Structure 1
Amino acid sequence: STPNVCKISCGYRIEAVLDTGVPGQTAVASIQTGTTRLVAPKQKPKTAHLQRLFVGSEGTLGLVTEATLKVVPLPAQRGIAMAYFPSVFAVGEAVPGILALGPTAVEIMDSRFLSLVKQHDPRFGALVPDRTDTAILIEFEGASDDELDEKFAALQRHLESTAALSLARAMTAAETEYLWRIRRTAVAIIQRNPGPKQPLPFMEDIAIHPTQLPASIDFIQRLFDREGVEAIFVGHVGDGNIHTRPVLDIKDPHDRAIVRRIYDEVSAHVLTLRGTMAGEHGDGLIHTPRLREMYGDKIYDFFVQIKNAFDPQGILNPGKKVGPQGGADLLFQNIRYGPDYRTLPQKPRLRFAERGYETEIERCHGCAACKSQVVTTMCPMYKATRREHASPRAKANLLRAVITGALLPAQADNPVSPEAAEAAEAIYGSAALKAVTDYCIECGMCAVECPSAVNIPKLMLEAKSRYREKHPAAVLGSPRSRAEVILSRAETLSRLGSLLAPVANPLLENAALRRLGEPILGIDRRRSLPRFARPSYAAVRRQKREATAEAQGVGRSDLLVTGSERADAERTGSSPTVAYFYDMYANYNQPELALIVEQVLAAHGVRVITPAQRASGIPEMLYGYAKRAAKVA
């Protein structure tokens, strides 16, 4: 039989292929070889919507090269509210009435989730009523504010008949964003958990019937308590979909035994409820072995027929959807940190804690948030090139391959021997590794936005530094080497260029000189270079300060914050004041940018002070000069 759920991504979506016009009817019985038709019992055969079969098939049936999407209008108005309950069972009693009101989202957060958020956000702690155990976030859409008000009024009336403690509606855009941020916060916090124990996604996508959600959450919470496991629960109440990742060290044999016990007991519980372990994230290698047990022989054999019809050679993502069944234990196979995981001895050049370098690399779990084109600002190099090896994820993958010896010859007898460690160290000096590390410009955005807070810029500086040890750039070396020497001293070069701008700019724009300079400097003659400005922004600020100091009788030694800046700061008291740290380009190439920043801030009543500036050290880091970068910055 098929799972009794509202959301499902396990197996193939055979029930969606043929629309018989009979609501709720599962219309698939067999596939006619050589045709694109399915036969529905007691219904006239219709042309199959085979594109629906590809949805959720995890690449096992073919590749999608083009898709036409149907779009729907955005809602005129949206509103959300947070409802607080004394127990997860109280939520279960209230949910049917909530769903009857037609919400567009109902998100559940358990007591562990709420405790974790309150620890990191005192503001949220003040909002949560006493005795709160579980909260749900409820969203409505409407054509007008009046329609939204009616829906929330109906929600309030319904909750008054339940055990709900309170309902807090967001009344502004800022409040709305704050409540949604609460929903996302705990997941980000636990994802950044320090140490070897990390949230593991082996049971993160359970789906059962919505009426069974509270009892299932209680069952799993008790299981976690028995095993002494930390975890949080979030989920989609209307779909009966639970997301939870137990925090364990998959490299620890004791924790692997806990994973085994939890997975077996939870999957047995879900199967008893006719649920699925794959509500929306797919079967993968872990859940595929249970599909026959879940669907029965007849339907699973039909999955096999579909797979063979589309992929007779079995080359499309093998092992997913159709694969070894029953006794097949793939829980610890093909995982990144399996029982045989080892790392070679490491001697990082930068300052890391004991085994900190390896741990930082291992924190990347491959979520690919760094490859998003719209959700994040990281990574500018990947966004510009769309090349996998430019992404932060690829850089972590590369370094993990280095520290585990995965790039060493296969015949290495002892992968953790001193000889193997020496061979792996030599990889840091390879042109192939440098081709990847060159795609990091040390902007730091990935370190800020990464869900797991992986410090890719530091890891790249480590790798670049090791390369530079083996290949010191020299002015008398190759054109590329000369270019790296010059560009690594960009601050000095820019300072000189600004001072000599009347001479430097014509030389930079002279086509003949650029052609002659290309083989010498290693800079392509077609590359347009920014003009230098004279005076620099720093010089403009210094002149203003000196003029103000002279008018007010302040000594030149007190020019860090002087004159009107200090007087204004003292007068305004609590008025906003910012310290402006301008970058090298604004300083030496386009001071008007920095002046516009000042003007915009001033127009908003913000006072600007410019403390004494030092170079960032980023040009030095770009080319692996870690010691010089530390000295400069």
Structure 2
Amino acid sequence: MTTATRDLAGLTARLAELAPGLRVETGPGATGPYAYDASNYRVPPRAVVFPRSVDDVVGVVRACREAGVPVTARGGGTSMAGNAVGPGVVLDFSRYMNRILDIDVEARTARVEAGVVLDALRSATALHGLDFGPDPSSHSRCTLGGMIGNDACGNRSVRDGRTSGHVVALEIVTADGVRAVADHTGLHPVDPREGALVARLEADLKRLVGENLALIRTELGRIPRQVSGYQLHHLLPENGFDLARALVGTEGSCAVVTAATVRLVATAQASTLLTLGYEDVVAAAEDVPEILRFAPSAVEGMDEAIVATMRARRGPDSVTGLPEGHAWLYVELEGDDPAEVHARADALLEALEAQGRLTGGRVVESPAERRSLWRVREDGAGLAARLVDGGESWPGWEDAAVAPENLAAYLRGFRKLLAAHDLTGVLYGHFGAGCVHVRIDFDMVTDAGRAVMRQFLAEAAALVVEHGGTLSGEHGDGRARGELLEVMYSHRMIAAFAAFKQVFDPEGLLNPGVIVDPAPLGADLALRELPLMDTTFGFPHDEDGFAGAVRRCVGVGRCRSDAGGVMCPSYRATGEENDSTRGRARMLQEMVRGETVTDGWRSTEVRDALDLCLSCKACSSDCPVGVDMATYKAEFLHQHYKGRLRPRSHYSLGWLPLTSKLVGYAARPLNALLRGPVGKLLARLGGVTTKRRIPAFATRRALRRALRASRTGEPAKTLLFVDSFTRAFRPEVAGAASRVLADAGIPCTAEDDLCCGLTWVSTGQLSLARRIMARTVARLDNGDERPIVVTEPSCAAALKRDVPELLGTDAARRVAARVHTLSGALTDLAEPGWTPPELPDNVVLQTHCHEYATFKGRHPRDLLGRLGVRKVDEAEGCCGLAGNFGFEEQHYDTSMAVADLALKPRLDDIDPGTPAVVVADGFSCATQIDHLAGDRGIRALHLAELLDPSADRPGQPGENS
């Protein structure tokens, strides 16, 4: 046993004594994802702990102090400055200590644990007409503890300022394991027996402030966004010795915050949004002082690179409502009187037009359009990380701030500095507060590139100080800027910061390496030269192949959101970092590095991290940087099991297209057999859960009959690709689709003997998948240029994306370009004026994840709305079955937990006395719906069945619903 192993064993044993029942995770499979946050840095911890109570935190701090092991507190892990990584024990507050303890409506305060996600607090307070003011773009996953650590601000900081302005009291654990409460009057012990220790700490702080009054008054608190360093000015006599505010922004380096009491603000009764276009960001910044005269709640800026990337990744309709220009400002105005707010908006537009810098401007009236526009801005950090041209950019100087009146001059100088170093920066941020985020195409792999980065950062620090600004305006200093504080502050101020930390943390164990005694900004960088890996997928969008693809994850953590979009269903079901898209990507990055995960493709830790990935592909669309975990998982499984025995379900479910074709010749007797004890035995032998009914197989004649009945005799304008699922289980869908296409003026012929290879891809049998795909492409790329319509969304997505990326041929790309889902075909190809038969007023819709991810702007929801369905109640999220995943014995419980998130509640809400139609094009989705609600007579229709001109219209309660 090595010394390190022995020391870790001793620490975990001591943790078990001081914090009984505490969950402690060690080893690369558990700690790998926690080596990263959203910054450029990688610092592997020794262990990760998941406290459930303050007593757990006290036990951890005391055990680590005894062992001399550092402690780093972590919330959502979205820090861009390296504040949330550390070499010792990482405390993950987000997993269990995430409760809202109290909301006092009359006092307008809330008491919350450190791991509460901001959106959870806002949802709870919204019921009372209240809100928490600071709103970072990461509001769907950042925690209050993290916001307190960084003194976060957000999009509406023009109105609401920084987190420090909203903190009433902090409940902390000191470096020696003492519980105390810091508020606007000082520090108070929770346990009176520890009163002497707390009193001595407070006395030392007052002595420190008294010795540095002039220094603190002249160097701190100069501009609203001055977050860099420690906020000692809150301890000045004239500020009432507000220790709570002084501890905000200390990045966990002085005390561990376990809970906080925060102030709430009233929700505005009326608001409007203006979008303003400019030639560049400097011109936009020139108008900020004039805009501030109109008391906006938000003034946000961004340049054209972010918008172009959004449109390329999510479709041209993903960004609408922007006027002409190459840079834009969002200006939000709020108030209690809608008429007054709109009058102010009109007056602002008139004033800005008189200034002469606008290229266009408009008031955005539609709430849906506003939400879409804000999403572009909120995804800025991720979108800027991997641009439409494939270029990568990185944080490091993403948080500088100046007074708003100095912003244009600062940006002018900053752009010159970028040009001088031959660097490109993507700019966005809180222009109304003078805070600009920028991601820069640093080369952090080579020594020469790192030298350029270091020189640039030093000169950028001097530039912002020259303009009276601060290195950090909300993200904190962390590892990215701590070393540069000496450019901004005097040596005496740096010494005062060190003394402040010394009072709280004399042994330097709390989040070492930030602010005081900072690690060099070039140390612990995550980027390194990547090995070229021999893979089956081509990864055409990533210069370094698989290694470059998994490097797409930069840690912004959008996959950790509980709502909005579809990603990441397994994280939403389990709440575990390792089950998030980010956690899996970080494990793959560790595998590529080969340091903590040393067995490469054979790694069981990586296999286990990928195990609960449903291969839904939602991350390829929802993730701002386009991580495609389904493809990475398929590649890993292929390499991991190469030359080895596979899980039984890879054979029973992965080979389903072939076996189902054979079963079709004797479907009736085999269906009867599968419904009995033999079926359960076969399921167990095949690794398939016995908690689901095996769907009944269709006979070969059923498909022939369905297609024969749909023939119209008209010249075919489209090719209907009858996939394996439709052929084997619901041939009636093929017949309905044929009739719908004919009715829409785009009659088809059917191709019913080909396969897209999807099941072999999802189980990582890529060599077989390529052979099957090559046969399919050879048949389809025969000079026929007709559109290919695929009724099964997952198979359509496989033909659209997996086939060209696996085969990499021009023929595959030609076939992919012709592929449409039924929704897409009816949207893009139907004759003008086509109207379907009468449709129901209300539809419950389950959109297939692959359709959501791959065919942006061509969703059933949009088509149904255009065709006259008045209410489409969409279950936004994965159904949980996800092809083979939900049929696999070990995944059944997770499958059902995912269904509980969105689909099951929609089905449960169906009133038995009210006609309801449920639409689900995916075979998996329809099967899950039958499993959840079939006993209540609820059946999912395919869109083709709903639109079938020859079908009886559903209308009676419980029928066809």
Q: CA deviation at 1:152?
A: 1.1
Q: Identify, as 1 or 2, the structure richer in strand.
A: 2
Q: Is the 8 A contact 2:300 2:429 kept in 1?
A: yes
SS at match of 1:232: strand
Q: Which whole-Å CA distance do the structure 1 matches of 2:376 and 2:485 have between them?
A: 35
Match of 1:60?
A: 253
Match of 1:363?
A: 552
- Pairs within 5 Å for 1:308-323: 308=502, 310-323=504-517
TM-score, structure 2 normalization: 0.50
Higher relative contact order (CA 8 A, sep 6+): 1
Quickly say closer, same or farther: Cα 1:314–1:44, change in 2 above 3 A: closer
Quickly say closer, same or farther: Cα 1:64–1:606, change in 2 above 3 A: farther
Farther off after superposition, 54-63 or 314-323: 54-63
**CA-to-partner distance for each residue in 1:600-631, whole Å, 9 max, x for gaps?**
x99x9898979536444332223321011223
Q: Which whole-Å CA distance do the structure 2 matches of 1:392 and 1:297 have between them?
A: 43
Q: CA deviation at 1:315?
A: 3.3
Is residue 657 of structure 2 the alignment partner of residue 491 of structure 1?
A: yes
Q: CA deviation at 1:489?
A: 1.5
- Pairs within 5 Å for 1:180-259: 180=374, 183=377, 190-193=384-387, 198-259=392-453
Is residue 538 of structure 2 the alignment partner of residue 351 of structure 1?
A: yes
Farther off after superposition, 221-230 or 176-185: 176-185
Q: Which whole-Å CA distance do the structure 1 matches of 2:361 and 2:589 have between them?
A: 48
Q: Which whole-Å CA distance do the structure 2 matches of 1:530 and 1:596 have between them?
A: 25
Structure 2 letter corresponding to 1:34: V
Match of 1:102?
A: 295
Is residue 768 of structure 2 the alignment partner of residue 632 of structure 1?
A: no
Quickly say closer, same or farther: Cα 1:427–1:227, change in 2 above 3 A: closer
Q: Is the 8 A contact 1:461 1:621 kept in 2?
A: yes
SS at match of 2:436: strand
Q: Is the 8 A contact 2:312 2:388 kept in 1?
A: no
Q: Is the 8 A contact 1:381 1:440 kept in 2?
A: yes
Quickly say closer, same or farther: Cα 1:372–1:611, change in 2 above 3 A: farther
Match of 1:434?
A: 607
Quickly say closer, same or farther: Cα 1:510–1:333, change in 2 above 3 A: same
Is residue 644 of structure 2 the alignment partner of residue 471 of structure 1?
A: yes
**Superposition RMSD in Å:** 4.7
Quickly say closer, same or farther: Cα 1:303–1:257, change in 2 above 3 A: closer
Q: Which whole-Å CA distance do the structure 2 matches of 1:483 and 1:125 have between them?
A: 45
Farther off after superposition, 394-403 or 281-290: 394-403
Is residue 364 of structure 2 the alignment partner of residue 170 of structure 1?
A: yes
Quickly say closer, same or farther: Cα 1:587–1:239, change in 2 above 3 A: farther
Q: CA deviation at 1:217?
A: 0.5
Quickly say closer, same or farther: Cα 1:143–1:609, change in 2 above 3 A: farther
Q: Is the 8 A contact 1:83 1:164 kept in 2?
A: no
Q: CA deviation at 1:104?
A: 1.9
Structure 2 letter corresponding to 1:200: W
Quickly say closer, same or farther: Cα 1:171–1:606, change in 2 above 3 A: farther
Q: Which whole-Å CA distance do the structure 1 matches of 2:604 and 2:420 have between them?
A: 51
Q: CA deviation at 1:199?
A: 0.7
Q: Which whole-Å CA distance do the structure 2 matches of 1:213 and 1:377 have between them?
A: 38
Q: Which whole-Å CA distance do the structure 1 matches of 2:484 and 2:148 have between them?
A: 14
Q: Which whole-Å CA distance do the structure 2 matches of 1:146 and 1:605 have between them?
A: 46
Is residue 475 of structure 2 the alignment partner of residue 281 of structure 1?
A: yes
Which among 390, 406, 409 is matched to residue 579 of structure 2? 390
Q: Is the 8 A contact 2:270 2:338 kept in 1?
A: yes
Q: Is the 8 A contact 1:90 1:163 kept in 2?
A: no
SS at match of 1:631: helix
Structure 2 letter corresponding to 1:446: C
Q: Is the 8 A contact 1:392 1:456 kept in 2?
A: yes
SS at match of 1:470: coil
Structure 1 letter corresponding to 2:760: E
Quickly say closer, same or farther: Cα 1:285–1:612, change in 2 above 3 A: same
Runs of at least 5 residues in structure 1 that lack an aligned partner in the other structure: 1-6, 21-25, 409-423, 474-480, 555-561, 570-576
Farther off after superposition, 77-86 or 618-627: 77-86
SS at match of 1:447: helix
Which among 688, 693, 699 is matched to residue 530 of structure 1? 693
Q: Is the 8 A contact 1:99 1:238 kept in 2?
A: yes
Quickly say closer, same or farther: Cα 1:390–1:174, change in 2 above 3 A: closer
Q: CA deviation at 1:214?
A: 0.5
Q: Which whole-Å CA distance do the structure 1 matches of 2:683 and 2:312 have between them?
A: 57
Between the two proteins, what is the percent identity of the paired residues? 25
Q: Which whole-Å CA distance do the structure 2 matches of 1:104 and 1:316 have between them?
A: 36
Q: Is the 8 A contact 2:384 2:439 kept in 1?
A: no
Structure 2 letter corresponding to 1:289: E
**CA-to-partner distance for each residue in 1:111-135, whole Å, 9 max, x for gaps?**
7778989999999999755xx6754
Q: Which whole-Å CA distance do the structure 2 matches of 1:529 and 1:590 have between them?
A: 18
Farther off after superposition, 375-384 or 243-252: 375-384
SS at match of 2:300: strand
**CA-to-partner distance for each residue in 1:376-417, whole Å, 9 max, x for gaps?**
422323333333333333333333333333147xxxxxxxxx
Farther off after superposition, 83-92 or 372-381: 83-92
Q: Is the 8 A contact 2:444 2:525 kept in 1?
A: no
Q: CA deviation at 1:155?
A: 0.6
TM-score, structure 1 normalization: 0.72
Quickly say closer, same or farther: Cα 1:74–1:542, change in 2 above 3 A: farther
Match of 1:612?
A: 751
Structure 2 letter corresponding to 1:155: L
Q: Which whole-Å CA distance do the structure 1 matches of 2:749 and 2:374 have between them?
A: 36
Q: CA deviation at 1:461?
A: 2.3
Q: Is the 8 A contact 1:9 1:278 kept in 2?
A: no
Quickly say closer, same or farther: Cα 1:403–1:125, change in 2 above 3 A: closer
- Pairs within 5 Å for 1:397-436: 397-407=586-596, 427-436=600-609
Is residue 540 of structure 2 the alignment partner of residue 380 of structure 1?
A: no
